[in-house]
Structure 1
Amino acid sequence: MSDQTYTGEVEPGGGSDVRELEHLTITKLAVDPQMSNNCYLLTCRATGESVLVDAAESGDALLGLCDSTLEGVITTHQHWDHHRALAQVVEATGATTYAGEPDADAITDQTGVAVDARLHHGDRIPVGDQVLEVIALAGHTPGSVALLYDDPTGHPHLFTGDSLFPGGVGKTWSDEDFRTLVDEVSTKVFDRLPDETWFYPGHGNDSTIGAERPHLAEWRARGW
């Protein structure tokens, strides 16, 4: 089964990596050699309906993963490298667009695409018969969101955008933003989720909450 062979190690221009859970398929694709953004297609295995996390670039490649059952595109935050293919994908599929409330206007200004659903902490997004829970994580941007899939027959899966990576939280531009992001990640992610939670960032390789938990104090102390 693909869940046993999935590594999450993908490169722009290369193929996707697929993880088959009991109820959900996760397809990870890296795009753009310069920025190496990760895009994630989440598909309900019962209904075939899917959502895309970050239409970052390479619209043709993303549309090649998707089909007419693409119900939504979720933009994790407002930074330009995470939504360059948003207009193309939405025009081709008619998918509903989602983004955190504080980032929604900036995303529309940059892409020309209206945000249909403005997300708040605790909101739920359907993926066929399955559900993603929105975790708001301010700091990298005011409206950054992570998306939690709490697998009913396995461990949780968390799509973190640029708020959490292996080795630290995402980039911030002030001490205040850094403290905010570390606090949000600590209380909303590490204090809540078990060690076996697998998380999928906006760039690079995946990790688990358990692998990163011992380093939280180090991150806070170094200040970036």
Structure 2
Amino acid sequence: MSPIEHLVTSGTFSLDGGTWEVDNNVWLIGDEREVLVVDPAHDADAVAERIGDRRLTAIVCTHAHDDHVNQAPALSDSFDAPILLDPAEAPLWKLTHPDRQPDQELSNGQVITVAGIDLRVLSTPGHSPGSVCLHVPELTTIFTGDTLFQGGPGATGRSYSSFDTIISSISRDLLALPGETTVRTGHGGSTTIGDEAPHLEEWRARGY
């Protein structure tokens, strides 16, 4: 069994009065006994089926846009697993789950371990105030949520976002990683740090 599993779920993303159809990447990291889920989106049953009879150690949300957190409480209740989120995401979280709080806070440099695999939290604000990425050096992988995609940074045209901040986060924390690091994103295909790094100045110039 691969330590990284991938599931695509479909639904909607709503913010600032608009709603869009989206496909989301849900990531599972672990082994045959225990697993951690990153960004459970849209379809709790499909995620639960993939978890199976394994112990769910944590539900880690890279940020709190509704398409990334809408099924977190359902999975938390079903598997008795904590929801982890950066506290700066509270305003966005409350838009989706006003009557439920995350269980634990994420902080920069924190290490979360599942099945002997260490995931290091990198604080990468910009797409939202408390966006984080999860770096897994032993798997040469980083889970970037909506901070970095194949072809550029995440969107910053909506509430609680900042273009200058996301560019700073990417250049400081992500592009400093080894070029062979696989970037596993919140939407769409994966890429590598080496493929994206040459385009930083182009993104700056475009105000991407």
TM range (shorter): 0.7 to 0.9
Write the distance in 2 (CA, Å) between the matches of 1:123 and 1:110.
26
Write the distance in 2 (CA, Å) between the matches of 1:105 and 1:123.
22
Write the distance in 1 (CA, Å) between the matches of 2:105 and 2:5.
25
**Helix, strand or coil at the partner of 1:32:** strand
TM-superposed CA distance for 1:110, in Å, is 1.9
Question: How much is the aligned-residue C-alpha RMSD, in angstroms?
Answer: 1.8
TM-superposed CA distance for 1:114, in Å, is 2.3
Q: Which residue of 1 aligns with 2:42?
A: 57
Q: Which residue of 2 aligns with 1:74?
A: 60
**Helix, strand or coil at the partner of 1:31:** strand
Asked if 1:40 is matched to 2:27, the reply is: yes
Question: Counterpart of 1:142 in structure 2: which amino acid?
Answer: P
Question: Counterpart of 1:144 in structure 2: which amino acid?
Answer: S
Instruction: Choose which of 116, 125, 128 in structure 2 pairs with 1:138.
Output: 125
Q: Determine if contact 1:72/1:98 at 8 Å carries over to the other structure.
A: yes
**Helix, strand or coil at the partner of 1:220:** helix
TM-superposed CA distance for 1:100, in Å, is 1.1
**Helix, strand or coil at the partner of 1:35:** strand
Question: Counterpart of 1:206 in structure 2: which amino acid?
Answer: S
Asked if 1:183 is matched to 2:183, the reply is: no
Question: Counterpart of 1:85 in structure 2: which amino acid?
Answer: Q
How do 1:71-150 residues align onto structure 2 when only pairs under 5 Å count?
71-104=57-90, 106-108=92-94, 110-111=96-97, 112-150=99-137
Q: Determine if contact 1:44/1:130 at 8 Å carries over to the other structure.
A: no
TM-score if structure 2 supplies the norm length? 0.88
Instruction: Choose which of 149, 160, 164 in structure 2 pairs with 1:165.
Output: 149
Q: Which residue of 1 aligns with 2:196?
A: 212
Q: Determine if contact 1:86/1:113 at 8 Å carries over to the other structure.
A: no
TM-superposed CA distance for 1:106, in Å, is 3.5
Write the distance in 2 (CA, Å) between the matches of 1:135 and 1:185.
10
Q: Which residue of 2 aligns with 1:197?
A: 181
Question: Counterpart of 2:66 in structure 1: which amino acid?
Answer: W
Write the distance in 2 (CA, Å) between the matches of 1:190 and 1:68.
34
Q: Which residue of 2 aligns with 1:31?
A: 9
1:141-168 CA distance string (max 9 Å, x none): 00001001111xxx52000000000111
Write the distance in 1 (CA, Å) between the matches of 2:6 and 2:100.
24
1:125-150 CA distance string (max 9 Å, x none): 11131211001111100000100111
Question: Counterpart of 1:200 in structure 2: which amino acid?
Answer: R
Q: Which residue of 2 aligns with 1:13?
A: none
TM-superposed CA distance for 1:109, in Å, is 5.2
TM-superposed CA distance for 1:124, in Å, is 1.0
TM-superposed CA distance for 1:49, in Å, is 1.6
